[in-house]
Structure 1
């Protein structure tokens, strides 16, 4: 009986190992692509702005390209970056979906889980398009109004401080708890439409939960690789580490401290 029990457990663990192995490979490939993208954008340089910061070429179309081309390029690389940053946080939730789908449909579970993931990352794609539109408008304003451009580093510090303060809020605690215990209502119908809806539901909850940390990343710089790594680690840690609420508050303290340092440096310029 012991040998039979061990065999059952090993068979149950094999799909889990394969699932997280594939997720790790996808995450690593996305991280490598993001690193290359950031390096290529930084190699292009940027425009020095009042206040001691540099406007990235990310927010303007390259020579010979249209705004539509720039938007499509940004959307593609934004989603690759989101996969690298968010897959470690959402993978356990997608695994739970895979398990629930697998009980009913077996071989279709993998495809349905992929569709749920597509729905999840579609939410972040929409966010990326809003970020691009806002970034284009803000950089245009900064070029036209040097006084406004001079305040940009201080405003970035304020945004990061606010993101840290939100880590202590009841809103954050509620959505963090929801992300860890999201019900699998979409499994009543196991088809592509239901899988997409479940992914959209996951993405919505995730956005509510960690939108403040993503705002901090955007304020620090979308192409800031150390900031990406820190925010990705923070999002995964507060969601899945033991004592997630305490982890979230610790992240809040770190964000407030970093934002205050940025603010002091900006005011000292």
Structure 2
């Protein structure tokens, strides 16, 4: 007669099986993220190259406004908005994937260890929910930027104040990096990236909700650096690269809170320099 297999031994076999599958699922997830990252970087480079062919509009105050905020070549406002949000999402994928990939892997691993068969699909939906939040932020940013651009074109006084206002925004963004609010949300983001997750229900709504919650935390955590990017130019490759490195370092590198503070002091210095330079030109 065959001896019955003890339940604990069955559990051990299941654990060993999942441990054997973990490296393969991890390699697959990171491979997909790397491919998506490469595609979005290429698309961002192409978009920035096309925008560089358009001359910026000289404005009162000695600065030039990007044509990102204005309809060109007979395009309508909805078309310009859709184009901006599309480019924004592609940029955010390229910028946020280096720090998001470890979080998605932890989520995928938690689902697989809980025995969910659709872990890959749930992880994909979590990513969709995450970037949906960034897409909404991009839409709000476009409305604000387009409104501000129209105001600057109609009011020379507002245009002349832009260089100083930009410096004040950058200075404030650096100060925000030093606050307890930044530290709290950064700890939440680092905890999601560096520790395991509790078993989550394998439902599409739950996965999207998890991604949306993660995206909201991330947007608050990155508010200061996003403001710096908006001031420097959302289509400026150097600004995008610098912000990407800063976000990745404070999220995944050791001593992330210390790195965030160092970044804050650097941003404060840049803001002060911008204010002094703008004031000297008045």
**Alignment match, 1:3:** none
- 1:125 paired with 2:117, answer no
Deviations 1:131-185 (A, max 9, x none): 0000011000100111211111111111111111111111111111111124846
Question: How many pairs are equivalent?
Answer: 263
Whose helix fraction is larger, Structure 1's or Structure 2's? 1
Partner of 2:118: 108
Q: Check conservation: 2:61, 2:160, Cα contact below 8 A.
A: yes
Q: Any unmatched runs of 5+ in structure 1?
A: 1-5
Q: Aligned pair 1:139/2:149, yes or no?
A: yes
Q: Pick the aligned partner of 1:251 from 259, 263, 280.
A: 263
Aligned pairs (5 A) from 1:169-188? 169-182=179-192, 184=197, 187-188=199-200
Q: Which residue of 1 aligns with 2:9?
A: none
Corresponding position of 1:25: 35
Contact 2:110 2:200 in 1 (8 A): no
- What SS does structure 2 have at the residue aligned with 1:51? coil
Considering only aligned residues, what root-mean-square deviation do their CA atoms show, in Å?
A: 1.9
**SS of residue matched to 2:90:** helix
- Corresponding residue for 1:212? 224
Q: Which moved more, 1:20-29 or 1:175-184?
A: 175-184
Query: Which residue of 1 is the match for residue 13 of structure 2?
Result: none
8 Å CA contact retained: 2:41, 2:91: yes
1:153 is aligned to 163
DSSP-derived class of the 2:57 partner = strand
Larger gyration radius, structure 1 or structure 2: 2
Cα 1:72/1:8, change in 2 over 3 Å: closer
Q: Report the equivalent of 2:77.
A: 67
* Alignment map for 1:8-87 (pairs within 5 Å): 11-87=21-97
CA deviation string 1:81-118 (max 9, x = no partner): 11011111211111111111222355511111110000
Offset at 1:10?
A: 6.5
Ranges in structure 2 where 5+ consecutive residues have no aligned partner: 1-15
1:236, CA displacement in angstroms? 1.0
Q: Is residue 239 from structure 1 mapped to residue 251 from structure 2 by the alignment?
A: yes
Query: Separation in 2 of the partners of 1:198 and 1:216?
Result: 27
Kindly state the Cα deviation for residue 46 of structure 1 after the two structures are TM-superposed: 2.1
CA distance in 2, matches of 1:132, 1:113: 29
SS at match of 1:48: strand
1:229-258 alpha-carbon deviations (Å, 9 max, x no partner):
111111111011000011001101111111
More displaced, 21-30 or 192-201? 21-30
Task: State the match for 1:230 in structure 2.
Answer: 242
Task: Tell me how far apart the structure 1 counterparts of residues 206 and 20 of structure 2 sit (CA, whole Å).
Answer: 30
Question: 1:163 corresponds to which residue?
Answer: 173
Q: What SS class does the counterpart of residue 58 from structure 2 fall into?
A: strand
Describe the SS at the equivalent of 2:118.
helix
After TM superposition, which residue ranges in structure 1, 4 or more long, deviate above 6 angstroms? 6-10
2:278 is aligned with 1:266: yes
